[in-house]
Structures are given as structure tokens and as C-alpha cells.
Amino acid sequence: MIDPIFLAEAAINGLLLGGVLALLALGLNLIFGVIDIVWIAYVDLVMLAMYAVYFLVMVYGWPIWLAGLAAIGVGALLGIGVHVLIISPILGSAPVNQLLATGGLLFFLQSFATFLWTTDHRSVRLALPVLEVAGIFVSFARLIAFVIAILAMIGLYLFLTRTYIGTAIRAVAQDREAMALMGADPRRVYLVTSAVGGAMAGLAAALLSIQYSVHPYFGAAFGPITFMICVLGGLGNMVGAFVASFIMSEIISIGGVTWSTEMGYVIAFALFIVMMFVRPGGILTKRE
């Protein structure tokens, strides 16, 4: 039997990880909802932004918060770059080709990172304390990441509901054709969406880099779980993705402590497969 303290600790860690995963899932989901393309290489953009944080802090001596802000900028630029260079030429192609084009990008980014920076694991060394509450240890870095992620999601919500361009983005997600008829420029909406999605990847990168070390295969480690959260929540459904993030992160965290890290992921993926059969439109929709 596992000590309940360990389980409580795992549950709290799962909750904290869920915040950052939700940020990633919302970024990917925003892009999917608006542009209708799954960026398979989304978490590889996170990986690039994590390298940016690492080099800015460890080589150029920037403070971490400034490097984090820079990472958001890097992410937004990467998002725009991916959209302009890869997505816009294939907007009209078969969905399979769109999926594969961003898959090719994944391969390219992964190997290019290996080529430039080798497969070494690099981490930003920060001396952040570990909090102890009633025998449960909580990493301060994770707590900060969680709080910032939640604040960022509130910011995204306000952006989408209170600004003109945000409203336009939601309108395109609802009806692509009608939006063009109303006189809004879909190209501009796509570009802004890609930039916002990229910026969220950049912020996630900053939050992940204070907890994990970065390596070229970081995207492969966090990518599959991110898509699955999006699909589990219902592609394009923001609230669903938010809820699904916490379900998945708790399974991974508690499963990891109870059996092994791999088994935690196996259970999460298996749940995803079963849920696809039972609730294909996402956990929050009713079956037709």
C-alpha cells in the first residue's frame, strides 16, 4: 500500500502540472478551432522557446522573468512563421497533407535542434525553495508556474471576449464562410490566431523551463499528451480542454507514483482511446 502522503503529493503535483498542460492545450485548441489544422509540431515550438530561455538566462545572464517575456515574443514569431511559411500554402489541401506537413516540421525542428545543440539535457538552474505543508512537499517553481498559467488563461479569455479581434477570432471559429461575408479579413484573423497560439507556447516554455530540462525530444515527450487533451476536451472546445488537462495530469501523476511513469501514460492514453469511442465530440458533449 502506498503512503497516503505520497498520493496527496502526487495529486497536488498533478494539479500543478495540469495548469501548464491546460495552457498548451488551449493554445493548440485555439489554432485548431480557428484554422482547422492540428499543428503536430506545436510542442516543438515550445522546445525552441525553452532553448531561448536557457540561452538568455545561462549564457547572456538575463533575469528569468525577462527571458520569459522574451520567450513569449519568440513563440509569437514562431507561430507567425509557421503560419506564413507552411500553413497558408496548404490551407486548401487534403486534411491528411496538412497533418503531415506539420509532422514534417516536427521532424525538421527535432533534428535541427539535435544538430545545433546536441542531445544534452540543459536546465536553467534556479534556487527556488520547496514548501512543506503538513508533511507534503510542494515545489515552489511548480506553484508559480501554475498561478501564472491560470492568470494567462484568464487573460486569453478576456482577449477573446472583450476585444474586437478576439470576437472576430471566435466568430471565425464558429463559421468560416459567414465571417468573410461580414467583411472581416480571415487572413488577418488567422495570422493573429497563430501569433497568440505561438505566444502561449512561448509562455508555456518559460513555465516549463523552470521545472524541466530542455532537450531536442522535449516535443516528443509532451506532444502526444497535448493533442490527446485537446481531442478529449473536444477539438476547439476551450472549457473541455481545460477540464481534460486536469484529468490527464492527475492520471499521469497518480499513476506514475502508484505503478511507474510509463504506466501512468499508458492509462492516460488508454482512457483517451476509450473516451474517443464513448464521447467522440469531447467529454463535455452529450452523445447524439
Partner 1 sequence: MTPGRLAALALLAALAAAPFVPMAGMRQYVLHVTIQIFIWSFIGGAWSLMGRFGLVSLGHGAFLGLGAYAATLLWNFYGLTPWVGGLVAVALTVGFALVVAYPCSRFRILGHYFALVTLAVGEVVRLLIIAERDWTGGSLGLTLRPARTDASLLAIQYADKRVFYYASLVVWLLGLWVWTLLDRSMARAAMEAIGEDETAAASVGIHVTRFKLGITALSAALTALGGVLYAQYFTYVNPDTLAGIGVSLRIVFAVVLGGMYSLLGPTVGTALTIALSEYLRVIFGVKFIGMAETIYGLLLVLFIIFLPSGIYGSARGLLRRRRTLEASATA
- Check binding of 108 to partner 1 (CB under 8 A): yes
Residue 164 or 277: which CB sits closer to partner 1? 277
The burial class, CB within 10 Å (0-12 / 13-18 / 19+), for 181 is exposed
Of 8-16, 123-131, 172-180, 272-280, the segment contacting partner 1 by CB under 8 A is 272-280
Q: Does 285 bind partner 1 (CB under 8 A)?
A: no
Residues in contact with 74: Cβ distance below 8 Å, sequence separation at least 6, in sequence order: 48, 49, 52, 202
Per CB under 8 A, which of residues 224..243 are in contact with partner 1? 224, 227-228, 231, 235
Q: How far is the CB of 82 from partner 1 (least distance, A)?
A: 10
* Helix (H/G/I), strand (E/B), else coil: 133: strand
DSSP state at residue 267: H
Minimum distance between the CB of residue 81 and partner 1, rounded to whole angstroms?
A: 12
* Exposure b/e, 224-237, CB count within 10 A at least 16 = b: bbbbbbbbbbbbbb
Our finding on whether 25 is near partner 1 (CB under 8 A) is no
CA neighbor of 136 nearest in space, from 10, 1, 264, 252: 10
- Which of 158, 163, 262, 285 forms a contact with partner 1 (CB under 8 A)? 262
Residue 203 or residue 228: which is nearer to partner 1 going by CB?
228
d(CA 231, CA 235): 5
Site string for partner 1, 35-64 (x = CB under 8 A): ---x--------------------------
Of 210 and 230, nearer to partner 1 (C-beta) is 230
> Which residue in the set 23, 109, 124, 148 belongs to the binding site for partner 1 (CB under 8 A)?
109
Instruction: Find the binder of partner 1 among 58, 80, 99, 128 (CB under 8 A).
Output: 99
Query: Could you give the CA distance from residue 245 to residue 28 in angstroms, rounded to a whole number?
Result: 12
**What is the C-alpha to C-alpha distance for residues 113 and 154, in angstroms, rounded to an integer?**
33
Assess 86 for contact with partner 1 (CB under 8 A): yes
Residue 100 touching partner 1 (CB under 8 A) = yes
Q: What is the DSSP letter of 259?
A: S
SS3 state of residue 45: helix
Check residue 84 for interaction with partner 1 (CB under 8 A): no
* 113 near partner 1, rule: CB under 8 A: yes
The nearest distance, CB 287 to partner 1, in angstroms, is 10
Q: Which amino acid is at 230?
A: C
Residue 163 CB contacts under 8 Å (≥ 6 apart), including other chains? none
DSSP lists the bridge partners of residue 122 as 214
Give the interface with partner 1 as residue ranges (CB under 8 A): 38, 86, 89-90, 93-97, 99-101, 103-116, 118-119, 216, 220, 223-224, 227-228, 231, 235, 259-260, 262-263, 265-266, 269-270, 272-273, 276-277, 280
